[in-house]
Protein backbone atom coordinates (compact mmCIF):
# COMPACT_ATOMS: atom_id res chain seq x y z
CA UNK A 1 0.00 0.00 0.00
CA UNK A 2 1.17 3.53 0.69
CA UNK A 3 4.91 3.81 1.15
CA UNK A 4 6.02 5.54 4.31
CA UNK A 5 8.92 7.95 4.41
CA UNK A 6 9.77 8.94 7.96
CA UNK A 7 6.40 9.84 9.48
CA UNK A 8 4.55 11.05 6.38
CA UNK A 9 2.39 8.72 4.29
CA UNK A 10 2.73 9.06 0.53
CA UNK A 11 -0.21 9.24 -1.86
CA UNK A 12 -1.49 6.04 -3.38
CA UNK A 13 -0.67 5.75 -7.08
CA UNK A 14 -3.46 5.64 -9.64
CA UNK A 15 -3.38 1.85 -10.21
CA UNK A 16 -3.88 1.22 -6.48
CA UNK A 17 -6.75 3.73 -6.30
CA UNK A 18 -8.40 2.08 -9.31
CA UNK A 19 -8.05 -1.34 -7.70
CA UNK A 20 -9.55 -0.11 -4.43
CA UNK A 21 -12.46 1.62 -6.18
CA UNK A 22 -13.46 -1.67 -7.81
CA UNK A 23 -14.49 -2.91 -4.36
CA UNK A 24 -16.76 0.07 -3.59
CA UNK A 25 -20.26 -1.15 -4.51
CA UNK A 26 -22.15 2.14 -3.97
CA UNK A 27 -21.88 4.57 -6.89
CA UNK A 28 -22.31 7.60 -4.61
CA UNK A 29 -19.40 6.50 -2.42
CA UNK A 30 -17.30 5.69 -5.46
CA UNK A 31 -17.94 9.19 -6.84
CA UNK A 32 -17.04 10.74 -3.47
CA UNK A 33 -13.76 8.83 -3.19
CA UNK A 34 -12.91 9.61 -6.82
CA UNK A 35 -13.59 13.31 -6.24
CA UNK A 36 -11.43 13.34 -3.11
CA UNK A 37 -8.53 11.67 -4.89
CA UNK A 38 -8.73 13.67 -8.13
CA UNK A 39 -9.21 17.11 -6.59
CA UNK A 40 -7.43 16.85 -3.24
CA UNK A 41 -10.31 18.57 -1.44
CA UNK A 42 -11.09 17.83 2.20
CA UNK A 43 -14.11 15.67 3.01
CA UNK A 44 -16.11 18.70 4.23
CA UNK A 45 -15.44 20.52 0.97
CA UNK A 46 -16.43 17.48 -1.08
CA UNK A 47 -19.71 17.06 0.83
CA UNK A 48 -20.54 20.72 0.16
CA UNK A 49 -20.24 20.28 -3.61
CA UNK A 50 -23.66 20.55 -5.23
CA UNK A 51 -24.84 19.18 -8.57
CA UNK A 52 -24.92 22.71 -10.00
CA UNK A 53 -21.32 23.34 -8.90
CA UNK A 54 -20.06 20.13 -10.46
CA UNK A 55 -21.90 20.80 -13.74
CA UNK A 56 -20.25 24.20 -14.08
CA UNK A 57 -16.84 23.13 -12.79
CA UNK A 58 -17.10 25.70 -9.99
CA UNK A 59 -15.27 23.61 -7.40
The pLDDT, as a whole number, for residue 54 is: 64
Q: What is the mean pLDDT of residues 4-29?
A: 82
The pLDDT, as a whole number, for residue 49 is: 80
The C-alpha angle with vertex 46 and arms to 7 and 55, in degrees rounded to 5, equals 140
| pLDDT band with cut points at 50, 70 and 90 for residue 13 | confident
- Answer whether residue 36 shows pLDDT above 60: yes
- Answer whether residue 26 shows pLDDT above 70: yes
DSSP-derived 3-state class of residue 9: strand
Q: What is the mean pLDDT of residues 33-55?
A: 82
- Distance, in Å, from the CA atom of 39 to the CA atom of 23, rounded to the nearest integer, reads 21
- Distance, in Å, from the CA atom of 30 to the CA atom of 3, rounded to the nearest integer, reads 23
Amino acid sequence: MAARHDEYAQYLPEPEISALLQYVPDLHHKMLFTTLWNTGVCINEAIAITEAMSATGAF
